Structure 1
Amino acid sequence: MSNERPTLGIVVPCYNEEAVIRETITQLSGVLKALMEEGLVSRASFLMFVNDGSRDRTWELIAESQKSNPLVSGLKLSGNVGHQNALLAGLMTAKEHADCVISIDADLQDDVKAIREFVIKYSVEGCEIVYGVRQSRKTDTFFKRTTAQGFYRFMERMGVKVTYNHADYRLMSKRALNELERFKEVNLFLRGIVPMIGFKTGIVFYDRLDRFAGESKYPLPKMLAFAFEGITSLSVRPIRLVTMMGFGLSLVSLAAVIYAVASKLLGNTVSGWTSLILSVWFLGGVQLLSLGLIGEYVGKIYKEVKRRPLYIVETLLMPDTLKQAEVESGPARVRSLNVQP
């Protein structure tokens, strides 16, 4: 890597984070200032908070902070597009002004002190991608720990390559982000897409903290839906499993036919209403499952071929340092945005 201090952008997707956003800005600003004082990052480094259609005062608080805090920038999307799309919007906007970008959630459960190690992995060891990985899950309840571990194992068995105990707390270099931009799929699952990029990677272990305030945006039903979205977006293994199940049931049916014919010839025919009904129900359930799974993939194809935008930016608030860089380097990706002082 270059000996020059890199410009660091920290992207924070926000959805209804009114209860925690002030503390998040305070803590991240403190970390960024410390990195600047230590000479690890450029004075042009910044924080970018992405408002994903929040219904509370999240955006108002971001806008207020941007006026008084020279490190803060804000990106307001025109509506709620979901965590992954909002995160991508922040990454793609921030990379135009930064050498490397760290993504972190607004709830302060990811230890902000680990950011220094991310930067060292990038600057000293030359890692293009650095994953933040939980040290352990000792503080989780038994149910939370079991379901989370099951999530990663199930994803892996379904053919999706993910980093164990890693969410979306990571550093990506500008080069890696440029490659990420080439992935054009509408059905986004960044935890599975980023490992496909390759390049030199590193891992920073940290202890996950309790949520500072507010409620979790990923209860169990949403986590299950998120896992299913990732599996069907990145792997065809579920379809292959259904095909293998169909092949196996065909063999069982063939054996049943041979058994039935042999019983008829030997005069051992016995009425089997219960077994017949159970077989019909079982095969009917398998057929409905298969059709539903195929429909899920067809639906994803439908979304992909329409090529709708993943997000629409309504407002971009930038610090003076970024505005000056914009003037010197050209408007790039923010040419059509509503940029406010």
Structure 2
Amino acid sequence: MSEQLRAAPLLAIVVPCYNEEEVFPYCLRELKGLLGTMAGDGLIKADSFVLFVNDGSRDTTWKLIGDAVAANRCVRGLQLSRNEGHQSALMAGLAAVDETVEVIVSIDADLQDDVNAIRRMVEAYRAGYDVVYGVRENRETDTWFKRTSAEVFYRLMASMGIRQVSNHADFRLLSRRALDALLRYSECNAYIRGLVPMVGFGSTEVYYTRAVRAAGESKYPLRKMLALAVEGITSMTIMPLRLIAGMGFCICVLAFFATAYVLWRKFSGNTASGWPSIVLSIFFMGGVQMLSLGVIGEYIGKIYLEVKKRPRFHVESLIQNNAPEQ
């Protein structure tokens, strides 16, 4: 990258929150301390800040954010009008960042991502990179099922031609021009992990060890992980539709040979028939048709949502502390 270091940037850390009252005090303490240390070392500007995005939490998360804003000039809060989901809340936070901000880092509130990796991300930005991915070096804190399912998911996405970084979630750094490019993608069904590699610009990776959740419960159970996988596949590729076409072609070939076999049996005079073959063929073709209709319906549903051009989120309020420095 460039031989000359970029100047210390104005940094914004965007943190989506949903029912995070238990972990919020730990997250606030860690990120505040990090900003203070990095500003003291001259890595970032002193007026860098953390933006907490409340995604329609049902607990006291928004009150805690409001208290943190009132007590700290380096904290801001964004309240969505209702729960929109993690990806929409993240996009809302990214879109709300001032144009004066030069570098934006997104991280989850659960502190499983190493906040100290943000320092290395900023150093990579100053070295000339516009996109820096936080990549999990190992997943020893995850269950065997979660590790295995994640590996299968990344391999499946790669086999379908979807560009994304393996073992990377939504812990990343974006420069201002990379963020502006990302925000030009206006689809409702946004899969950010697949969109970021599409914006281009120079990128690199920062590796870290994933920790256990600091407090509270995971907001991504199996149901939501499966929904995210379906969202990613149907938003980023039409490969499932092509697989259906290929499967239909194979079935047609098999049907051709089956027809030839039946005609041969008929003209040879040996036409003893049995119901098992009929029942199995009905169930097989019925299952194939229902599966195909389900996949096609998923894509039609995506089209239905996109053509209406409904907004992805509504912002209820944006708060910050404008009190002068003491």
TM, length-normalised to structure 2: 0.96
SS, match of residue 243 in structure 1: helix
1:35 to 18, 30, 38: 38
1:248 to 238, 247, 250: 250
Residue of structure 2 equivalent to 1:237 = 239
Residue of structure 2 equivalent to 1:287 = 289
Deviation at 1:5, TM superposition (A): 1.6
Deviation at 1:3, TM superposition (A): 4.1
Q: Deviations over 1:247-273 (max 9, x none)?
A: 100000011000000111112222121
Residue of structure 2 equivalent to 1:314 = 316
| Amino acid in the other structure paired with 2:312 | L
1:6 to 3, 6, 9: 9
Residue of structure 1 equivalent to 2:202 = 200
Deviation at 1:156, TM superposition (A): 1.6
1:130 to 122, 129, 132: 132
SS, match of residue 225 in structure 1: helix
Residue of structure 2 equivalent to 1:52 = 55
Aligned-residue CA RMSD in angstroms? 1.5
> Among the aligned pairs, what percent are the same residue?
52
| Amino acid in the other structure paired with 2:272 | V
Residues in 2 aligned to 1:170 and 1:271: alpha-carbon distance in whole angstroms = 63
2:24 to 21, 32, 45: 21
Partners of 2:11 and 2:102 within 8 A in 1 = yes
Residues in 2 aligned to 1:307 and 1:142: alpha-carbon distance in whole angstroms = 40
Residue of structure 2 equivalent to 1:74 = 77
Partners of 2:30 and 2:115 within 8 A in 1 = yes
| Amino acid in the other structure paired with 2:266 | K
Deviation at 1:2, TM superposition (A): 6.5
Residue of structure 2 equivalent to 1:107 = 110
- 1:83 lines up with 2:86 in the alignment: yes
Residues in 2 aligned to 1:150 and 1:220: alpha-carbon distance in whole angstroms = 14
Partners of 1:95 and 1:101 within 8 A in 2 = no
Residues in 2 aligned to 1:270 and 1:219: alpha-carbon distance in whole angstroms = 53
Number of positions where the alignment pairs a residue of Structure 1 with one of Structure 2: 322
Deviation at 1:95, TM superposition (A): 4.6
1:150 to 133, 149, 152: 152
Consecutive unaligned residues in structure 1, runs of 5 or more? 325-341
Residues in 2 aligned to 1:189 and 1:95: alpha-carbon distance in whole angstroms = 23
Consecutive unaligned residues in structure 2, runs of 5 or more? none
Residue of structure 2 equivalent to 1:327 = none
TM, length-normalised to structure 1: 0.92
Partners of 2:52 and 2:78 within 8 A in 1 = yes
SS, match of residue 165 in structure 2: coil
SS, match of residue 55 in structure 1: coil
